[in-house]
């Protein structure tokens, strides 16, 4: 019996849901990342855990952009070193979930 790879379907489902999200981005980030602490981190679990892909490793350096943040707080929870300080965006900014 052939095994079905559901990852393709799950990605399509998530991408479809993300199209329903509206964000008003503030110039001031609601997340602070301590780059000094991040330099010593080998795992960089935030890159894999963030559902919005706000974290990337570019030439060995962690890069963060709050523009597409889903405000889930996962980054702060998974960072065992405490390098991520998460808070809600300023009033009037951030994510607006639309359900349909």
Do residues 33 and 86 touch, judged by C-beta distance below 8 A? no
Higher-confidence residue of 17 and 61: namely 61
Domain annotation covers residue 2: no
In the numeric block, the tokens 């963030």 are attached to: 50
With a cut of 90, say whether residue 68 has pLDDT above it.
no
23 in a structural domain = yes
pLDDT band at 99 (very low <50, low <70, confident <90, very high): low
Q: Is the pLDDT of residue 100 over 70?
A: no
Query: How many domains in the chain?
Result: 1
Q: Is residue 49 a part of any domain in this protein?
A: yes
Say if 1 falls within a structural domain. Answer: no
Residue numbers of the domain that contains 46: 7-97
Residue 32 — pLDDT band, cuts 50, 70, 90?
Answer: very high
Domain of 53, CATH number, reads: 3.30.70.20
Q: Of the ranges 25-29, 31-35, 68-72, which is most confident?
A: 31-35
DSSP conformational letter for 42: S
Asked whether residue 40 is domain-assigned, the answer is: yes
Mean pLDDT, all residues of the chain: 87
Predicted model pTM: 0.76
Identify whether 61 is part of a domain: yes
Q: Does 41 fall in a domain? A: yes
Q: d(Cα 1, Cα 65) in Å, to the nearest integer?
A: 44
């Amino acid at each position: 019996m052939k095994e079905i790879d559901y990852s393709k379907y799950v990605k399509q489902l998530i991408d479809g849901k993300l199209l329903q999200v509206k964000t008003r981005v503030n110039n001031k980030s609601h997340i602070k990342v301590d780059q000094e602490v991040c330099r010593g981190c080998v795992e960089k679990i935030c890159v894999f855990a963030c559902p919005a892909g706000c974290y990337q490793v570019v030439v060995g350096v962690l890069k963060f952009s709050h523009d597409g943040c889903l405000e889930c707080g996962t980054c702060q929870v998974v960072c065992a070193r405490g390098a991520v300080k998460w808070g809600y965006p300023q009033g009037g900014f951030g994510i607006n979930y639309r359900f349909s």
